[in-house]
Amino acid sequence: MNFKCLRPLLSEFTPILTWLVYLLECADGTYYAGITNRLEHRLAAHNSGEGARYTRARRPVILLATQEHPDRSEASKAESRLKKLPRSEKLGFFTV
C-alpha cells in the first residue's frame, strides 16, 4: 500500500496541538510553572501525585494562569522566561 498518497488525508484529521505555559499555586503557597499540550491531563497528574516531583508534596495545586504557544519550542522559551521572573511578576507575565 502506498502511504504517501494518504498523507494529505491524514493531515486533515490530525489535531493541531496548542502548547500552553501554565502557572500553578501549590498548597504551601509556592508557584510551579510548566508546559503541556494536555492541560486537564497534566493538572490531574499533578493533583494525583503523578506529576512533577515538586508538586507531589505540595498538593493540591490550583491553576492560576495559562498562555498559548504555537509549538513546544516557543512554550519552552516562554517557560524559561517565566521562571526567571521574581514571584511578584509571575502573574503579570500572563497579562501581556
Residue 3 has pLDDT above 50, yes or no: no
Residue 90 has pLDDT above 50, yes or no: yes
| Residue (of 25, 35, 33) closest to 71 by Cα position | 35
Query: Is 62 a member of any domain?
Result: yes
Query: Is 66 a member of any domain?
Result: yes
Cβ-contact 18, 38 below 8 angstroms: no
Task: Give residue 1's pLDDT band: very low, low, confident or very high (50, 70, 90).
Answer: very low
Q: What is the pLDDT of residue 2?
A: 47
Give the domain extent around 60. 17-70+82-88
Following CA atoms 26, 54, 60, 43 in sequence, which dihedral angle do they give, to the nearest 10 degrees? 100
Report the domain count for the chain.
1
pLDDT tens-digit map of 40-85? 999 999 999 999 999 999 999 999 999 999 999 999 999 999 999 9
Q: What is the pTM of this model?
A: 0.83
* Spatial distance between the Cα atoms of 95 and 58, rounded to a whole number of angstroms: 26
Average of per-residue pLDDT across 31-35 = 98
Query: Is 76 a member of any domain?
Result: no
Average pLDDT taken over every residue of the chain: 89
Return the number of other C-beta atoms located less than 10 Å from residue 21's C-beta. 25
